[in-house]
Structure 1
Amino acid sequence: MKLYPIESGNFKLDGGAMFGVVPKSIWQKTNPSDDNNMIDLAARCLLIEEGNRLILIDTGMGNKQSEKFFGHYSMWGNHSLDGSLAKHGFHRDAITDVFLTHLHFDHCGGGIQWNADRTGYEPAFKNAKFWSNENHWAWATQPNAREKASFLTENILPMQESGQLHFIKRDDTDFMATSELGFGIFFADGHTEKQMIPHITYKDKTIVFAADLLPTAGHIPLPYVMGYDTRPLLTLPEKSKFLSAAATNEYYIFLEHDAHNEIITVEHTEKGVRLKDKFSCSDILS
């Protein structure tokens, strides 16, 4: 098995929204904001090369939305999905599986593109299976008013219309289910219904793709919950369970949204689970 970080682009979001009830005087110590209160974020995906399979976890925003749409997110930097794949010697047509932690636009938008004459949409990975789960798919395709702006029809329905959509089967495992793709999944409901957090066994390590369960290293303390979470009182016990397991089992946590910290570890302390070490992807995945 080989793992590759795939940087699909950087953007910014309001720091207050990213930290919920936590005051700016506290969160800005770890995540400083610009003059508009916006903090740096990444859309860092992960590519798994295993045998004849190339599995891409999340796809970033993509590029099919309007200039006005992207203007809300202060895009910055030079990263792109195709450029990052090419850096590691891959092309999107070689991807066999696209695993989506959830269907918010910044996680799945890159999976769908305009068709050749821009009259409709088509999968951007023409040879891949797209993986979600039944509960989350129903949640995303019949969205509540609070999340509707994050579940964009053009990002989601073409997966099903193409015949490339598949669902991960979820069993009743207390902590982690084993997926058809060969890695474990922790299902979390606080941010959105049945977000999937992959746990990948790599050499002698467990690499966890944190998605929106832990957006940045600054979100480790339990009350540091995003204002975007639909059920923050569920996020609290989910984070507690996950971080306790991460500290006890020495997981390497791959941060999708932290623009400045790529992989971290955590440890138990008298104040609860806290940051232990920071690593670059090249330190751990080489």
Structure 2
Amino acid sequence: MQRQLSSISGAPRTIDGGVLFGNTPRRVWTQWMQPDQDNLVKLASRVLLVQEQKRNILVMAGSESLLAPLPRTCNCQPHAPSLLHNLARLGLGENDIDVVFFTHLHTWPSQDLLRVIEDGLVQRVLFPRAHYLTGENHWRRAQHPHPHDRNLFVRSILRQLEHSGRLKLLQAGTNAELGAGWHLHESNGYTLGQLLPEISMPGGPLLFAGDLIPAIRWLDLSLTGGYDRNPECLIGEKERLLDHVIDRGGRLFLARDQQAAAVRIFRDRQSRYSPYDQQSALSREEV
């Protein structure tokens, strides 16, 4: 089967650095990322486009990229970078997307979008023709969230997905919705029921690492975040999946790293994981 992979950038996201890096001391993580005056750090918002069998599939870590961009309040405002804009550069529009796969449904909205949500306004979700896919176990979590992550689920997004008539709930492993060449790994350390797709390619599989390993820094097994549901579980899941990728000669796709879209991994004699063969972007890659 011919399959092409492309990385698509959306609007960057900001998050409190202390929450992002959890129990890592501030004096350490500020050497990796420089926070602003509000202690916010900037992350990429990267989506994977998979084109196969006349289907266009978007894979997203979280649901913030699903929301339509806010309209400009005046023509003097510059166009903000957006997923739709970068899809258009590949000749694709909203109606060309057949499937949107969510590893999970947490939302890290921009500050402007957060104000709209807090005001009770409903921003429409994108891709009106697409089937929306996510994990069944995670959907149950989204419907009945724990206080730990309740504020990460946006009810208006969940309602629109549920009422679309196009929502499909999946289990780990293989399934008919995605077909041959896709395998879903379930992860419960960051959030309950996160599904991470492994996609077969001629040069070795690509594993979409979601928010289990959002960026290169998280190759350090000990690095966990404030939103992680079960840090000990997460560390074990990272180790197992990284070893799996290495054994299969595969790569990781990183949704939040500002420089790297895909990397290969090796494990040294001290059992530390390090990246090599970094790619800043994928562009209709077939090998």
CA offset at residue 38 of structure 1?
2.3
Structure 1's 63 and 165: CA in aligned 2 closer, same or farther, altered over 3 A?
Answer: closer
| Aligned alpha-carbon RMSD (Å) | 2.7
CA, structure 1 residues 46+159, in 2 after alignment: closer, same or farther (shift >3 Å)? same
8 Å CA contact 1:266, 1:273 repeated in 2: no
Q: CA deviation at 1:261?
A: 2.0
3-state DSSP class of the match of 2:7?
strand
- CA contact 1:209–1:254 (8 Å) conserved in 2: yes
Task: Point out 4+ residue stretches in structure 1 off by more than 4 angstroms.
Answer: 62-67, 118-123
**Superposition pairs of residues 125-204 of structure 1, within 5 angstroms:** 125-170=127-172, 177-180=173-176, 181-182=178-179, 183-204=182-203
**Residue 19 of structure 1, CA deviation:** 1.4
> Match for residue 247 of structure 1?
246
Listed as ranges, the gaps of 5+ residues in structure 2 are: 72-77, 110-115
Contact conserved, 2:65 with 2:83, CA < 8 A, in 1? Answer: no
Give me the TM-score of the superposition, normalised by structure 1.
0.83
The 1:65–1:45 alpha-carbon spacing in structure 2 relative to 1, beyond 3 Å, is: closer
Equivalent residue for 1:280? 280
- CA distance in 1 between counterparts of 2:52 and 2:271 reads 36
Q: How far apart, in 2, do the equivalents of 1:158 and 1:124 lie?
A: 10
1:85 matched to 2:87? The reply is yes
By how many angstroms is 1:206 displaced? 1.1
**C-alpha contact 1:159 1:165 (8 A) present in aligned 2:** yes
2:75 maps to none
Change in Cα spacing, 1:37 to 1:251, as seen in structure 2 (3 Å) is: farther
* Structure 1 residue 63: Cα displacement: 4.9
Q: Distance in 2 between the 1:127 and 1:61 partners?
A: 16
d(CA) in 1 for partners of 2:227 and 2:156?
Answer: 21
Give the Å deviation of 1:247.
Answer: 2.7
Change (3 A) 1:243 1:119: closer
**Aligned residue runs from structure 1 range 66-77, under 5 A:** none
Taking structure 2 as the reference length, what is the TM-score of the superposition? Answer: 0.83
Count of residues paired in the alignment: 263
Residue 6 of structure 1 contacts residue 46 of structure 1 at CA under 8 Å; is this kept in 2?
A: yes
Cα deviation, 1:66-97, whole Å, max 9, x if unaligned, reads 89xxxxxxxx9942011011011111111111
- CA distance 1:270–1:41, change in 2 (3 Å): same
Q: CA deviation at 1:123?
A: 4.3
What is the aligned-residue identity percentage?
26
What one-letter code is carried by the residue in structure 2 that aligns with 1:178?
A: T
Higher RCO, 1 vs 2 (CA within 8 Å, ≥6 residues apart): 2
CA shift in 2, pair 1:283/1:29, >3 Å: farther
Residue 47, structure 1, aligned to residue 49, structure 2: yes
Contact 2:10–2:47 at 8 Å: present in 1 too?
A: yes
Equivalents in 1 of 2:42, 2:15: separation in Å?
Answer: 7
How far apart are residue 122 of structure 1 and its match? 5.1
For the residues of structure 2 that align with 1:251 and 1:51, how far apart are their CA atoms? Answer: 22
Residue ranges of structure 1 left out of the alignment (5+ in a row): 68-75, 108-113, 171-176
Structure 2 CA distance for aligned equivalents of residues 125 and 66 of structure 1? 16
Deviations 1:156-184 (A, max 9, x none): 121111211111134xxxxxx12331311
Query: Paired residue for 1:105?
Result: 107
SS of the counterpart of 1:154?
A: helix
